[in-house]
Structure 1
Amino acid sequence: MQKQIIQTAGAPQAIGTYSQAVKVGATVYLSGQIGLDPVSMQLVEGIEAQIHRVFQNLQAVAEAAGGSLADVVKLNVFLTDLGHFALVNSIMAEYFSQPYPARAAVGVASLPRGALVEADGVLVLES
């Protein structure tokens, strides 16, 4: 199967050697998104704003791939403070509905650009 690179101005441009997403067949691999505003390329202020921005960025890339967050089957969330886990859950419920994707939440020492949260995922598009 041939891979297709997914690119959108609706999410931050890559800040490293990666693509926003790669589509292979009906599967789309979403790269990690932090709370960067796609226009200014600056990190938004505060954990709540960063969580929202992360999901908005993932949503923009999913849509560019021809899907939506409803197509996400696996989500990985990385937090510099696991004390924000409940906040992630409540904000995630604004972007996802049941049945929820499989998910991992991992505490990490640091993230790019001093971000407080990052998430990546895998979605499967209907054929």
Structure 2
Amino acid sequence: MPQKEIITHPQIAQGSNPLSQATRFGNLVYVQGCTGRHPTTGVNGSDIREQTRFALERIKMILEEAGSSLDNVLSNTCYVTTRDDLPGFNETYAEFFPKDYPARTTIIVQFGQPDNLVEITTTACIPS
């Protein structure tokens, strides 16, 4: 019977919040909400394109640590702070998912930290 496994990438900057980078159960991987902080330095990107790139690079690193990849993403839930940022967000997002797009929900939100422009949470599978 499968058991929950905690996934942690050793090079990704750790925050102080009580959460895991990802959890794996069977062949599914659930990745935390990744914000627009640089994967290793933890510094926020300067605009929506850079923050989207940083969030997706973090997701890519975590998935690879779990034995998966962006090619195996089933679903993304994306949070952005303003509708005006959607064109830049979509442009960068498409660089990481150029075809066979995962299911996606995009929601306009207000974060508690004003320098956060994007957060993405991901569900992926690990192929047999």
TM-score (norm 2): 0.91
How many percent identity over aligned positions?
28
- Please give the alpha-carbon distance, in whole angstroms, between the structure 2 residues aligned to 1:13 and 1:20: 9
Q: CA deviation at 1:17?
A: 0.8
Deviations 1:23-82 (A, max 9, x none): 000000000001112332221222211111011011000111101111100001100112
Structure 1 unmatched ranges of 5 or more? none
> Measured at CA, do residues 88 and 111 of structure 1 come closer, stay the same or move farther in structure 2, by a change above 3 Å?
farther
CA contact (8 A) 2:24 2:66 kept: yes
Distance in 1, Cα, partners of 2:16 & 2:37: 10
> Where do residues 70-85 of structure 1 align in structure 2 (5 Å cutoff)?
70-85=71-86
CA contact (8 A) 1:11 1:38 kept: yes
In the other structure, the counterpart of 1:36 is: 37
- Is the Cα–Cα contact under 8 Å of residues 70 and 97 in structure 1 kept in the other structure? no
Matched residue, 1:126: 127
Count of paired positions? 127
Output the TM-score relative to the length of structure 1: 0.92
Residue 88 of structure 1 deviates from its aligned partner by 1.6
Distance 1:91 1:82 in 2: 15
1:111 offset after TM fit, Å? Answer: 4.8
Partner of 1:114: 115
Q: In the alignment, is the contact (CA less than 8 A) between 1:78 and 1:105 conserved in 2?
A: yes
Match of 1:103 in 2: 104
Matches of 2:24 and 2:70 in 1, distance apart?
A: 15
| Cα drift, residue 113 of structure 1 | 6.5
1:62 aligned partner = 63
Distance in 2, matches of 1:27 and 1:13, equals 22
**Quick one: distance in 1 between partners of 2:23 and 2:116?**
23
Q: CA contact under 8 A between 1:13 and 1:38: conserved in structure 2?
A: no
Kindly indicate whether residue 21 of structure 2 is the aligned counterpart of residue 20 of structure 1: yes
CA distance in 2, matches of 1:91, 1:111: 24
Question: In structure 2, do the counterparts of structure 1 residues 66 and 53 end up closer, same or farther at CA, with 3 Å as the change threshold?
Answer: same
Q: RMSD of the alignment, in Å?
A: 1.5
